[in-house]
Amino acid sequence: MIQLSICLPTRNRQTYCIETIRALANSDRTDFEVLVGDNSDDGSILADFFETELKDQRFRLVGPEDKVLPMVDNWERLAALAKGRWISVIGDDDYIDPKLVLLLKYYERLYPEVEAVAWSRMNFNWPDNRPQPALSTIPVCHDTVIAVKSRLQDHLYRWTERKRVPSGGFGAYHGAVRRSLMERIKRKYGGRYFEHPVVDFESVCKVIREAKMLVHCQRPFSVLGAGAASNSAGTQSHKTLVERILTFKKETEGKVDMDDPVFPFPISDPGAGLCASIASTTSWFCRTYDIDTSGFGENFAHAAMDELRYARTEADYDVKRAYFERGFEALDGGKWRHLFEPAPFHGNTSLNELSGVLHDMLYLREASVPATTPADFYKFAEHAILPIEIVASGARAFAR
């Protein structure tokens, strides 16, 4: 029986995707499958790889269609074809451990109503995406936490933590969602698993509203990779960011508009960052499905100020600040504008220079890490974290 379907959507990043496929194929487990959704301009590269090198029955290639699909539609077709009891989506330059199946089985035995599982993630920049010193991260804890749905909904729908990114990443992206929940979501939300261009956080919106039980494991099971061609790499170059935003906007035409006409913080604006993208997505979701957002305006003003603390340069700070000022002038008739008073730019000179353990996270200078891919980094990091077999056993004491 297939326990886990790993969905791997990709577009014009075949080099990264092939490395990710090879890494997953090294697993000796037979209870998972990998669906590769190729949305590239040239479908022959992955097709030839599957034909001449891979030849692994656990992998299925879903080739390009007659025209380029919006990313949300590429995700949609993979979820529809998945056969696993659980579904997870990762990027083509990421990595996920197929041994995750052990944890899912363990949680199902322990919590029969569990429908969504999240875990901590490692972060790794591919060697071609290090224009400046960077740190890789390894979460070093392993406890299990039962999430409180109402608290997660407050964090995301109403932004009560007032941070640039709300906590609680339960969704299909670098998480696992039970197929029964995916089908329930499809029936309830317009006959689709996914609707919004910012598909990862739209998934979180739906999962934390509908799941019967959500369980988080502090041990990491996947790596968020970032190669030079990835969307996240655009955050390190203003020029690259603008180019990729324009391309992304063009390829999502005809679906839900990524620039919400009601929420005055357009995602395609160069000043937008992760904070605004999440806020725009959740605003669309809550308005579309009549969800209470009391307190959002005030809380989001504080989150926007938190976002500015992470500006890399003074020029970046100025662009972001002007962006948020325009948005708050328009939001609810300027009701929250007076609350947006960020501190002056102060720089982050030591941000990527310090390594060590801080708040249950191990930070490592990437230049000194013996890894060239997220899979390599995961194997390296396993020396610093508890083995999955022990985590999934439920043991509370460990012998040397």
164 located within any domain: yes
354 located within any domain: no
348 located within any domain: no
359 located within any domain: no
Judgement on whether residues 98 and 225 belong to the same structural domain of the protein: yes
H helical segments located in 82-224: 100-110, 149-157, 179-188, 199-210
Judgement on whether residues 224 and 81 belong to the same structural domain of the protein: yes
350 located within any domain: no
Q: What is the mean pLDDT of residues 26-53?
A: 97
Judgement on whether residues 252 and 224 belong to the same structural domain of the protein: no
Question: To the nearest whole number, what is the mean pLDDT of the chain?
Answer: 91
Compute CA 270 distance to the chain's CA centroid, rounded to the nearest angstrom.
20
For residue 180, what are the domain limits?
Answer: 4-229+367-391
Backbone angles phi, psi at 57, to 5 degrees: -65, -15
Q: Is the pLDDT of residue 398 over 60?
A: no
Q: What is the mean pLDDT of residues 173-179?
A: 98
pLDDT digits (tens, 9 = 90+) for 308-333: 998 989 999 999 999 999 999 999 99
Judge if pTM exceeds 0.75.
Answer: yes
Q: Which residues contact 221 (CB under 8 A, 6 or more apart)?
A: 96, 97, 99, 100, 103, 119, 121, 388
Torsion from C-alpha of 273, 276, 277, 283, nearest 10 degrees: 180
Judgement on whether residues 225 and 245 belong to the same structural domain of the protein: no
Judgement on whether residues 89 and 209 belong to the same structural domain of the protein: yes
